[in-house]
Amino acid sequence: MAQSATADTPRRILITGCSSGIGRRAAEMLAERGHHVVASMRNPADVDAWPHRHIPAVRLDLDDPASIQAGLDRAVERLGGPVEVLFNNGAYGQPGAVEDLDRETLRAQLETNLLGTVELTNLVIPSMRAAGFGRIIQNSSVLGISALAFRGAYVASKFALEGLSDTMRLELAGSGIDVSLVEPGPITSRFRANAQRAFEQRIDWQRSVHREAYERQLERLRKPGPAAPFTLEPEAVVRRVIHATEARRPKARYPVTVPTYLFAALKRVLTVRAMDRVLARASGGGKR
């Protein structure tokens, strides 16, 4: 018989991508609510610098199968039992026009945002199935709902994550394992700084036909302050993660921020061409 979840039932939780932003706040806020949390991150220096002694931190690099297994093993040891709730938060955004993405750049994006996430998820499912309870919470994006120019690699990873999550939800029906997608729009985090680094490392933008658009993008990425209108703090996302963790019947999708709600609604009522015009204006021709 499937177990139930409530705010009064502490759960063993593993979170990826906890070096900053959403992942860090999720670890902090879930621990404050009495859950047993392990925070994971890919950079050993971030593990060493982790400030919370009451929240164990482990290294887990989603690009490395050996690191995924070792990180999960250490998390289970520190949790004192198998993972009951997995929040797949670890990801980064690779800017660049599709025609400027080489195979290695696209592969790197998918390794982190999709393939490593699925591999980790598949490793925790057997223990969840045996217990008759589990929560798999996927941090998707507004760009898992609608595409924007110059974000093709990230869009591909999030569209794929959405499709695989919907498929898993069907396949896991009756097992006691729920799959939820959290779909944020702009959130205050290091995401923009990480995207700038990935862009400058992997895109030969100065020789691209899109050079002018890239220059506007770099100006936006380097600008301090909110990345876009309607930017919210990480806590807005974590509140949905808490509901997906504790509710007796978690939702399949949790939109976060105005753009996510708006784009999802417009896709249902507009023609493709009309929606393209909205998305082109939203991206500002690459400036935003």
The residues annotated as belonging to the active site are: 154
Rounded to 5 degrees, what are φ and ψ at 232?
Answer: -115, 165
The SS3 assignment for 231 reads coil
* Cα–Cα distance for residue pair 37/202, rounded to 1 Å: 34
Beta strands 177-184 and 134-139, pairing class: parallel
Q: What is the C-alpha to C-alpha distance for residues 2 and 131, in angstroms, rounded to an integer?
A: 8
Q: In what order do the strands lie in the sheet with 85-88?
A: 57-59, 36-41, 12-15, 85-88, 134-139, 177-184, 253-256
The CA distances from residue 197 to 8, 111, 222, in Å, are 42, 17, 10
Could you tell me the two tokens for 217?
């993008």
Beta bridge partners of 142: none
Strand runs labelled E in 21-121: 36-41, 57-59, 85-88
From residue 260, alpha-carbon distances to 13, 80, 231, 266 in Å are 26, 37, 11, 10
Q: Are 234 and 187 in contact (CB under 8 A)?
A: yes
Three-state SS at 126: helix
